[in-house]
Structure 1
Amino acid sequence: MTVAATTDLEATFTDIARPPSFVDLRAFAAQAEALLRAQPGEYEGDPFLGNRAALVSSGAEGPVHFILLPAGSGAVAEMPGDEFVLVLSGALTLTAQSGDYLLGPNDAAVIPHGSDFGWTAGEDTAVIAMRYAKSEAAGRAITPISKDPAFAPSGKPAPEVLIGPAPECCNFNDYRVDEGRFVCGTWNSTPYRRTAILYGHHEIMLLGQGAVTFTDDAGRSGTFRDGDLILAEAGARCAWDSRTDVTKVFAIYRV
């Protein structure tokens, strides 16, 4: 099942021809959930892989999905790709040989390609996921995104795109494969502004602190704050404006 993304923060997710931009993923999830509930049971196999709606842009399905898990349990014999999952509402327990992983709202983890795992949801549970389809099964364990990351200094935006002083940035990668083509972790930064840059990757961002305003080439602007969930799509050109320190959980898929 597919759901198209929006060209406007208040619009419905119906414009499949829209150019890449930034997407309010909680707004996408709300409409995707309504669509899935209106057409229950129209999938094959386990709900974790089947009861999904894919975000669409430029007329094609992207790597970001909304998953609606009914209260109960299920099992996946083989995960078809590395997948970053973030719980929006409800509670999800993942059970694998490496242990049990309990995820509540705003908790995230990476389920590696080839994973054989069970899942349990105590109530209907909503999840945002991004799959790295180019991964290979390598026997990795499920990896939670740390709630207490050991930050280290990281790279800064290029000087030519900055408007004003350069920020101080720190980063911690929980999961990184294929020389960083798929990487998930936590990042923080002091305030900064930059002009629009071309995103060569899809990036999910869960803001845990601060606020940031994105503006795309069409002049569309949106400000996001603590708890908001955003996707910057590959091919988008967006400016960044943060007037406070920002911390975000991220998942990056370089295309």
Structure 2
Amino acid sequence: MSQLTALLLAGANGHAPLIAASADALVANDPFAASRRIGYADERFAAGITTLTGIVEVTGHPVSEMLVLHQGTLTFSRAGQTLQVGPGDSLVIAAGTDFSLQASPDSLWAWFADIQPEVGTAPGMTVLDRRAHLNPSSPPDDQILIGPAPQCRANNLFQAGALRVGVWDSTPYERRSRGHLCHELMYVTEGEVTLRLGDGERVVNAGDTVFVPKDADCAWVSTVYVRKFYAVS
């Protein structure tokens, strides 16, 4: 069995390692089956990238997923309203949502999806505001901290079942390695962090999207303020 480790889904420099992978459907009626690349999947959650040019019509989106756009422009039309997102923007599409999507040439986004969404999830789209108001949140446990406890804040902007998506920030800190407590996609909007993993180190810069699977050995070292979008389960 291969070792669980963090995956760079898309970088600020345009690097997207999964771009060479074959496209695959996430679920049987996946509207992005022809353009979706899957980097990680288990029976409930998955992460990867999608590359798309053109128009897709979606009736009852089969999954709930967070998107982080890295390249191109996406224009969503839903219920008479239009939403346009560009590089660095992020949104959540809830399961059951009807929409039309027009993607400019060679659009590319990273995603994290709940492939068995909760029954009764309210359809809709939630745009993540990188300047959203944040509330104090718990720092890492004292047992794994190296040095002073940081000041952490967060705001869940979308929640459905086990999937939570929002914005988090923290002052610098370092913690020891432990199994990651959840699946997490993170898009760093400000700062830089080094993840020390079982197979080496990953420096995550502003503009990078990485996925860390649950139970992957992971230590955190940040020497500057860090702010990120997150999707966790």
Shorter-chain TM-score range: 0.7 to 0.9
SS at match of 1:165: coil
Question: How far apart are 1:252 and its partner, in Å?
Answer: 0.8
Identity %: 27
Q: How many residues align?
A: 227
Counterpart residue number, 1:169: 152
Larger relative contact order (CA 8 Å, sep ≥ 6): 2
What's the TM-score once normalised by structure 1's chain length? 0.80
TM-score, scaled to structure 2: 0.88
Shift of residue 94 of structure 1? 1.4
Does residue 180 of structure 2 align to residue 199 of structure 1?
yes
Task: Report the Cα distance in structure 2 between the residues aligned to 1:159 and 1:212, rounded to whole angstroms.
Answer: 20
What is the 5 A alignment of 1:1-255?
17-26=1-10, 30-35=16-21, 48-56=32-40, 63-70=46-53, 72-97=54-79, 99-135=81-117, 136-178=119-161, 181-218=162-199, 220-253=200-233
Structure 2 residue matching 1:33: 3-state secondary structure? helix
Name whichever structure is richer in helix by fraction: 1
User: Cα–Cα, structure 1 residues 122 and 216, in superposed 2: closer, same or farther, change >3 Å?
Assistant: closer
Which ranges of structure 2 fall in alignment gaps of 5 or more residues? Answer: none
The one-letter code of the counterpart of 1:204 is L
The alpha carbon displacement at 1:172 in A equals 1.4
Deviation at 1:166, TM superposition (A): 0.2
1:102 Cα shift? Answer: 1.2
The one-letter code of the counterpart of 1:214 is L
Provide the aligned C-alpha RMSD in A: 2.6
Counterpart Cα distance in 1 of 2:189 and 2:198: 26
Alpha-carbon contact 1:215-1:239 (below 8 Å) kept: yes
Secondary structure of residue in 1 paired with 2:146? coil
Relative to 1, partners in 2 of residues 1:98 and 1:86: Cα closer, same or farther, differing over 3 Å?
Answer: farther
Q: Distance in 2 between matches of 1:45 and 1:198?
A: 33
Secondary structure class of the residue paired with 2:10:
helix
- Which whole-Å CA distance do the structure 2 matches of 1:169 and 1:252 have between them? 16
Cα distance, 1:57–1:80 mapped onto 2, change above 3 Å: closer
1:57 Cα deviation from its structure 2 partner: 7.5
